[in-house]
Amino acid sequence: MAIQTPLEVEIRRRIEAAGPMPVDEYMGLCLADAEHGYYMTRDPLGRRGDFITAPEVSQMFGELIGLWMTTVWKQMGSPSQVNVIELGPGRGTLMKDAMRAALVATGFREAVSIHLVEISPVLEEMQERTLEPLAMPMFWHPELANVPEGPAIVIANEFFDALPIKQAIKGDNAWHERRIGIGDDGKLFFAADSETIPHFDRLLPPSVRDAPEQSIYEWRADGAAIELGKRVAKGGGAALVIDYGHAVSAAGDTLQAVGQHAYADPLVAPGTVDLTAHVDFQPLIRAAEAMGAQSYGPIEQGMFLRRLGIETRAATLKAKASRGVANEIDAALTRLIGQGRIGMGNLFKVAALTHSKLGAPPGFEN
């Protein structure tokens, strides 16, 4: 039997004590266990890490978000105080690039307090180092709910995909919660509850209700989406959610593990590989709207970045660059807006949640 990670030892202990573990509990432990969770112990980003995100692909991404922020701020009436909030800021790269572009707007620097919502002590330290040169008021919080109230511009890039999901599997006309158990061979495996989830069908979107047997349906707790919606609806402003996922709820098993830029088995070596699942934008938007927010999108990332002018920005950067750097800019552009397997352009989606009176934010005008 393979050597067990310290987190696997703990997971097995819990399963032996309490029975098979719900997928969200497993995912939560793998990512955020205080001692052994994936995000708590390392910086997973970048070419030498496990995966690369859009702001790490190119400075263009953060810069365009910075311009998005200043336009939204002006749409808000240029308030003299605004909280710029980032959920899951990684290495701080997006915020650094965004501020470089945004601080050109007169009065923006004086208005902004930066709030970073982060659970990882390792990444928080990196963010401090990256963002210190900005010399702006900056605060860290474990949850969005801890950020002071008031007008807000919120950015969440690849944050929601890291929040734990639950899974259910369809049996003969009824759905059973999927859990993680210990098999006869001693390995962790996906098991289905023998009990069904009462009345689950009635809670499902119509597009999922008639899915064939053995289909899997995933869902997340609504807490973060509710908080986002409440914040912009009450305090004013807008939130931008960028993530890979689907615009309309659908059945499917999207839980995936990635380590060193390759897919891995989510049940092997827990705590040492990243676990994510697609974001279902439909319930996320519904939850924010229920709090009074207005929603826009989701639209594809490729379209969003094109509308913000990424091709012009790339041409400007290339005009001053060596041949090698110009090739790198082209490669980054393809990665950010390319379709299908070559890029993030259509897999990643962008949605905005705003105060009802803000009007369409940049990228979402008709």
Applying CB under 6 A, the residues found at the interface with ligand SAM are 31-32, 39, 45, 53, 55-56, 88-90, 94, 117-120, 123, 157-159, 162-163
- The residue with tokens 């009635």 is 202
d(CA 302, CA 343): 9
d(CA 159, CA 231): 17
Instruction: Look up residue 63 and give its two tokens.
Output: 């810069």
Cβ at position 123, least distance to ligand SAM in Å:
5
Report the nearest approach of ligand SAM to the CB of residue 277 (Å): 12
* Spatial distance between the Cα atoms of 3 and 9, rounded to a whole number of angstroms: 10
Q: Which is nearer to ligand SAM, 117 or 204 (CB)?
A: 117
CB of 298 to ligand SAM, least distance (A): 17
**Residue with Cβ nearer ligand SAM (99 or 204):** 99
176 or 300: whose CB is closer to ligand SAM?
300
Q: Which is nearer to ligand SAM, 31 or 240 (CB)?
A: 31
CA 229 to chain centre: 16
Decide: 295 and 234 in contact? Cβ < 8 Å: no
CB of 218 to ligand SAM, least distance (A): 17
Query: Can you tell me the distance from the alpha carbon of 311 to that of 302, in angstroms, rounded to the nearest whole number?
Result: 11
Question: What's the min distance (Å) between Cβ of 118 and ligand SAM?
Answer: 5
Q: How far is CA 30 from CA 67, 173, 269, 293, in A?
A: 36, 32, 9, 32
Shortest distance, CB of residue 229 to ligand SAM, whole angstroms? 17
| Peptide linkage before 298 cis (omega within 30 of 0) | yes
Residue number with CB closer to ligand SAM (140 or 200): 140
Choice between 236 and 298, CB closer to ligand SAM: 298
Minimal CB distance to ligand SAM: which residue? 88
349 three-state secondary structure: strand
